[in-house]
Amino acid sequence: MPVADIVHLEEFAAAHRLHARDLGVQENAETYGACQNIHGHNYVLEVTVRGEVDARTGMVMNLVDLRSAMREEIVDQVDHRFLNEDVSFLQDLPVITTENLAIAFWSRLAAREAGWGGPKLHRVRLMESQSNIVDYYGE
């Protein structure tokens, strides 16, 4: 069967600040500058799943299932939240950067992968804005 990627995007509005647990005051200030302040974004989460196109359904997987996984595992947890304080699965992160968020989101989606019956999570893209983006491929 041919292999294709399906890509779905969801938005959420959240606040965060960049302040690393393992850095001192001065190093935090030098590293993150104004991003140390509480601020926020309309984040866009884009998830790519790769798999064979089913001959009968014509789909890699049902888009409804991908959307549900994204909403239940991520969007419903982080939308309209202060990521540094309000989200339990993010509390162990040393700092709430876009990189660390993308990796944490991958983990939660990967836990759903087995239920998809074949297709594999290929990429988690997290856009903090249209100009600042992180891609994570699970490696």
Q: Which residues are catalytic?
A: 35, 80, 128
Binding a second copy by CB under 8 A: which of 75, 103, 113, 118? 103
Binding a second copy by CB under 8 A: which of 71, 93, 108, 110? 93
Residue 75 within binding range of a second copy, rule CB under 8 A: no
Contacts by residues 87-95 (CB-CB < 8 Å, ≥ 24 positions apart)? 94/20, 94/21, 94/22, 95/18, 95/19, 95/20, 95/21, 95/23
Residue 81 within binding range of a second copy, rule CB under 8 A: yes
Residue 105 within binding range of a second copy, rule CB under 8 A: no
Collapsed DSSP state (helix, strand, coil) of residue 55: coil
Residue 134 within binding range of a second copy, rule CB under 8 A: yes
SS (H, E, C) 60-97: CCCHHHHHHHHHHHHHHHHCCEECCCCCHHHCCCCCCC
Distance, in Å, from the CA atom of 128 to the CA atom of 112, rounded to the nearest integer, reads: 24
Binding a second copy by CB under 8 A: which of 29, 68, 72, 94? 94
| Contact yes or no for 134/100 (Cβ under 8 A) | no
- The residue behind tokens 């935090």 is 28
Residue 26 within binding range of a second copy, rule CB under 8 A: no
Nearest distance in Å: CB 111, a second copy: 17
Residues that bind a second copy (CB under 8 A): 2-11, 13-16, 18, 20, 22-23, 31, 33-35, 37-42, 48, 53, 55-60, 62-64, 79-82, 86, 93-100, 102-103, 128-137, 139
